[in-house]
Amino acid sequence: LPSSLKPCLFYASRSLFFFLVLFNSFHSESSTSMTRFASTSATNFVVGVVLVLALCGSVAFADAQQQEDRAPRTVRSNPNIKRTGYMPDPIPSDPDRLICHIVAHTHDDVGWLKTVDEYYLGSNQSIQNAGVQYILDSVMPALVLNPDRRFIYVEIAFFERWWHEQDDAMKATVRMLVSSGRLEFINGGWCMNDEATTQYEAIIDQMTEGHRFLLKEFGIRPTIGWHIDPFGHANTQPSLFAQMGFDAFMFSRIDYQDKEFRKANKELEIVWQGSQSLGKLTEIFTTVTYGPYDYPSGFAFEWGDPPVNNDPRIFNLNVKQRAEAMVAYVRDMGKAFKTPNVLFTFGSDFQFENANVNFKNMDKIIQYLRAHPEYNVDIFYSTPSIYVDYVHKYSEANKVVWTLNKYDFFPYADSPWSFWTGYFTSRAALKGYVRSRGNVLHGTERLLSTSQGVFGNSMLTPENLAKIDRLAQAYAVAQHHDAVAGTEKQHVAYDYAERLSIGTAWTEELLSDLVTGIMVQGSNANVAAPAPQFSICQKLNESKCDATASVKQGPVPFVLYNPLAWARTEWLRFPVPVPNVQVTGPNGTIPVQVQPNPDVSGMYSVVFAAQLPPLSLTTYVLSTNGSASENHKVQTPQSADSVDAATVTIENEHIKLSFDTGSGRMFMIENKDINVQLSATQQIVWYNASSGNNKNSSQASGAYIFRPNSTATFNITNNNVANLTYTRGPLYSEVRQYWAPWAYQTVRLFKGEQFIDYEYTIGPVPIADGLGKELITRWDTPLATQSVYYTDSEGQEMQYRVRNYRPTYKYNNTAPVSGNYYPVNTAIYMQDTTSKNLRLTVLTDRSEGGASINDGSLEVMIQRRLLHDDGRGVGEALNESDIIRVNHEVVFTRPQSSSALQRARQLQINNRAIPLFATNWKGTVQQWFQSFNHSFTGLNTALPPNVHLETMRVLDNGDQILLRLNHIFAAGEDSVYSKPAQVDVGRLFKSLSILEMTEMNLSANMRLSEMNRYTWNTTASAEPAQSTNNSNPADTGFVVDLQPMQIRTFIIRTEALARK
């Protein structure tokens, strides 16, 4: 019932009760007490009748007045939602009247101090009192009690679990609450992803996972981005949200100086243009919350703030004081915004486990303020989407002009010595594992999609799709802002890794079945039975592989899957127990280079280059060749001490590197293609992490915060001399620089390649000296960089950085090192601004932090081991004792040609060829190639060099494929590849015939033609919109045009073609 009718119903019931008592008293024995009771009953009856008439009359009058405020309102972007409950006029007639939107919410971390399961179940309460299932159990009946109440929910990883435990009655109740707008899903991703350490493909994946669930179960589409907890915000994030059809983006954490500036200048709300390549198409209304995302002080009723008392019969009547405190806070907020709307965050981490406590107390304040219009505040339960609707209506009516912002919100600091830039690198091993699992996931999805010509629909079973889902959901959870960010407790980090490992095992099983089926179908498989099964060597980075270790017992067949839609050269390195090995491919024996394995005594490494067609499987066999004593191919490393020269060099066709034999360090890079030499040194050094005893602040360096004790770096050895060995071979040459057992690196030049390969082996970082260490790799050059450097944004556009400067507010430089660190997802570069016209780029294999602290210098943090907590909630030191292996690729050339190489290598690093080894097959090399198909490719032709096949995933109904094509270059980045690209999807796939192709928004939950986002009047509204040529592919023979940085999403219906 509406809350206004409850008093009427109460008194009506009370009057009826006393009437029945009165009636009964006349038919009972006469007594003094009964006569007195009857008299009282009669009085109550009369009073009740009068009150009922008065109250019902006032209710009827009030309801008539508020009929428009309570009438169901159809939601513009979700027409099946009709909002009910109280909603005031969005454009108040009094200019001083404020509209307070109370947003009841819970922020449920998908792992942090507890694992995702512990949080859901409410277990391990000694760490944190939190149980998500009880929150949802509590919220639903609380919403049913009062139609004016509203609540938002965000993390679908939790909600999906809870949903599948509910009976039909509860599901019907929830659907009713969703359709009436009382329960609203905001953001709607599997998690609330991080923005510094995630890559754009992973973000799209996890958002799609949640959005598809909501569409399937409720037929709704979230319209607001809600990132209240991530620790800084990337330019790519609003771009992705805009392409998903979102109307607004809301968050809380920005630099404390920036926030104060924005409050003072009414700039907490802006329009943010996320992509300069796509321009206005990526503009999105953005709200920075006035305070943190928690309850304002005094209104955390579930945390124990005093309850609100509006009953004069009870001592400590305080509703007036609590309401006035709220009005005072709302008025303070109102000073910071351009419209009369203010957003009051009512909730916090894992709140509303006892929803009645919060709602009941806030109900009383709302009722009081509505009954006292003199406060001039309209207050009601709202949601972020309602808030944006109100702001937009007011903005349009009053012609509000919004500042257009084109910059990101990194780095984040909450005090002068507390820059949250350490987490860019924290838990480097987990960061690398997350990135590599994405490659396995996407590779499996693409192979399953493109192999239908082999299998028809026989592999598209619910069981097989569920195997992919196991890894897809573990990968989605890992994008959470306390997961891949590395800011969780240690046992939670282990849990994330275990989930990814389990998901990999399920996906590996499907991969094996796919590869076996492709190889056997139409072949002479009866020659050598049984059909092989395949597995992934999970520890190749540790030089361990059971399959290759068995080469002494017989040939070891393996398959390489190229998950990219381009032909490529992939360099492979396998550990083997003997040196006399060879690799045979479909066209015969291929060149190999063998040398002693530096990691494992008595083992060797065999290295070779595989030429892989686009989106293909290619089979090879590793075998022995003669006796070990007959083999003369082993390249034995030479020590620099044995060289009677001051310099050791390695080179290939394009690059030459010079190393000083005295220091063991590089001193010169030469690009032979452009005939340029650059004096350049590179070394591994470390910052001493603050323990919190600095004279300026007690802030320690921790999982979140990077705070070195000084700007100085420290050498690994006293004299900073590295023990240097080198190898020159026909396929590659390398230099190994050994500073300590816990810190060494290998620098390689591969035949024909234009990049320098760096492989770092770090750990366990020693702490016996009581010092926390933050390890960096640093390049120092004479390049005149003028304080400027560039870092990528979640793997997309490069961002312009200037040391000790912020483009939107006056920056107080209190942290000259950590305050200049930015997230590096895939690349960081610096370039000379003079006539030298040179650029040095570092490409990474995982997310890390990077900076240019001095002109001509570039550094990337590769590992951290700390001894103190930084006081931001995790409650333990980041004391990881892992040994990690990290890869960087360095490109040194002209800026005009650098981006083309950077973009291609960036995707090849993130999408490495996947080796799968046959585990149960015995036979000869000849028998292998006689028995099975040698190769398979899913494409008729490669994609253009500037287009990436981002997504190709069979949807859960099995008869549709989700396809995304991505132009990987930014506007103006390259003279050739930044031009528009075109793909004929109808002719692209070898075994698939396209029957139907529907263009969708980025998260694939609505047709692109249905997307209708709010537009806003900005300080740059006269700028022309970027043309994207989104013609319907069905009208152009399935030809798709792509502009720079554009991602186009389709759901295609296909028919499998028989394999020829």
Residues known to be catalytic: 229
Please return the burial class of 68, using the count of CB atoms within 10 Å of its CB with bins 0-12, 13-18 and 19+.
exposed
Residue showing tokens 């004792």: 881
What is the rounded CA–CA span in Å between residue 618 and residue 632? 28
Written in H, E and C, the secondary structure of 762-824 is ECCCCCCCCCCEEEEEEEECCCCCCCEEEEECCCCCEEEEECCCCCCCCCCCCCCCHHHCEEE
Identify the bridge partners of residue 285 per DSSP, sorted by sequence position. 248, 271
Query: What tokens were used for 997?
Result: 């192709």
Question: What would you report as the CA-atom Rg of the chain, rounded to the nearest whole angstrom?
Answer: 32
Please say whether the beta carbons of 736 and 759 come within 8 A. no
Please say whether the beta carbons of 1028 and 965 come within 8 A. no
How far does Cα 572 stand from its chain's mean position? 29
272 backbone dihedrals φ, ψ, rounded to 5°: -105, 125
Count CB-CB contacts under 10 A for residue 635.
Answer: 20
Q: CA–CA distance from 884 to each of 477, 845, 922 (Å)?
A: 23, 12, 35
In three-state secondary structure terms, 105 is strand
The DSSP bridge pattern shows strands 98-107 and 341-349 to be parallel
Identify the bridge partners of residue 574 per DSSP, sorted by sequence position. 606
Query: What tokens were used for 518?
Result: 């492709």
What is the rounded CA–CA span in Å between residue 421 and residue 776? 14
Q: For 332-371, b where at least 16 C-beta lie within 10 A, e where not — what string? A: ebbebbbbbbbbbbbbbbbbbbebbbbbbbbbbbbbbbbe
What is the rounded CA–CA span in Å between residue 465 and residue 470? 9
431 backbone dihedrals φ, ψ, rounded to 5°: -60, -45
Taking CA 652 as the corner, what is the angle to CA 647 and CA 653, rounded to the nearest 5 degrees?
Answer: 130
Residue showing tokens 């929910």: 153
What is the rounded CA–CA span in Å between residue 858 and residue 829? 8
What is the rounded CA–CA span in Å between residue 162 and residue 156? 9
64, 39, 66, 51: which is closest to 10 by C-alpha? Answer: 51
Residue showing tokens 């997504």: 951
Q: CA–CA distance from 351 to each of 101, 113, 345, 387 (Å)?
A: 18, 15, 12, 21
If you write DSSP's letter for every residue of 900-942 in order, what string do you get? HHHHHHHHHHHT--EEEEESS----HHHHHHHS--EEESBSSP
> Which of the 8 DSSP states describes residue 1007?
B
Please say whether the beta carbons of 66 and 2 come within 8 A. no
Assign residue 166 a region (left: φ > 0; alpha: ψ between -120 and 50; beta: otherwise): beta
Cis bond before residue 411 (omega within 30° of 0):
yes
Strands (E), 599-731: 604-612, 616-624, 638-639, 647-651, 655-660, 666-671, 676-679, 681-688, 714-715, 723-728
If you write DSSP's letter for every residue of 302-368 in order, what string do you get? GGTPPPP---TTSSS--HHHHHHHHHHHHHHHHTT-SSSEEEEEEEEET--TTHHHHHHHHHHHHHH
